[in-house]
Amino acid sequence: MSRTTELEQRIAKALDRIGRGVGRLKAPTAGAPTQPAPAATSGADPEIAELRAALAKEKATNAQLNERLGSTRHRQETSVTQLERRLARLTEQLDLQSLEMLRLKKANAKLMAANAALRDAQIAGSTESAVLNRSLAAELEALQAERRAEMAEMEEILSELRPLVGTESAAGTSTGTTTETSAGSSHV
């Protein structure tokens, strides 16, 4: 970017110098005749032509640089927009995974407490069905929480693969996965 800015400044300075040179040749000086002498005209014409050619060349170069700068800005804006969308998607996925991990931790804590109660009941020699039921329910909840966490991870993987595969074929894959998980969760 600094190289482009430097080139723009150099072009602007060159255009100013050329403009001043053309202005001096065209502007009549005080006390000078309004019509230049034929000898002066013949010497100035090639110089003016050279200056005009240099000015046209600098204008063309400036236009090319402005076009390149515009396309570079457009690419940067597009990249920033894509990165912002990706950041939002990844933040959403992270939030989902954090929620699933929290559920998993809670379910595992319940499972540990239920297993401790079951062990205590076993040591005491009286295994109550309520303690056994709580233990099995906690274990089932832990397994379901683990499955949800795995599904969140699978969704993250799929979301990274979708741009590579294409939206249409990824949508079919995602729908098939969702159908399988719905059917799979009814069996659990």
pLDDT at residue 27, rounded to an integer: 62
Flag whether 121 is in a domain: yes
- Give the mean model confidence (pLDDT) for residues 142-156: 84
Q: 21-48, pLDDT tens digit by residue?
A: 777 777 655 544 554 444 444 556 888 8
Q: How many domains does the chain have?
A: 1
For the chain, helix (H) and strand (E) counts, in that order, are 4, 0
Flag whether 182 is in a domain: yes
Flag whether 117 is in a domain: yes
Flag whether 27 is in a domain: no
Flag whether 175 is in a domain: yes
Flag whether 102 is in a domain: yes
Q: 63-120, pLDDT tens digit by residue?
A: 999 999 999 999 999 999 999 988 888 888 888 888 888 888 888 888 888 888 877 8
Percent of the chain exceeding pLDDT 70 equals 78
Neighbours of 73 (CB within 10 A): 11
pLDDT at residue 124, rounded to an integer: 82
Whether the model clears a pTM of 0.85, i.e. scores above it, the answer is no
Concatenated DSSP letters of 55-93: HHHHHHHHHHHHHHHHHHHHHHHHHHHHHHHHHHHHHHH
Q: What are phi and psi of 37, to 5 degrees?
A: -70, 150
Q: Are 151 and 181 in contact (CB under 8 A)?
A: yes
Q: Are 106 and 137 in contact (CB under 8 A)?
A: no
Domain range enclosing 158: 86-187
Radius of gyration of the chain measured on its C-alpha atoms: 39
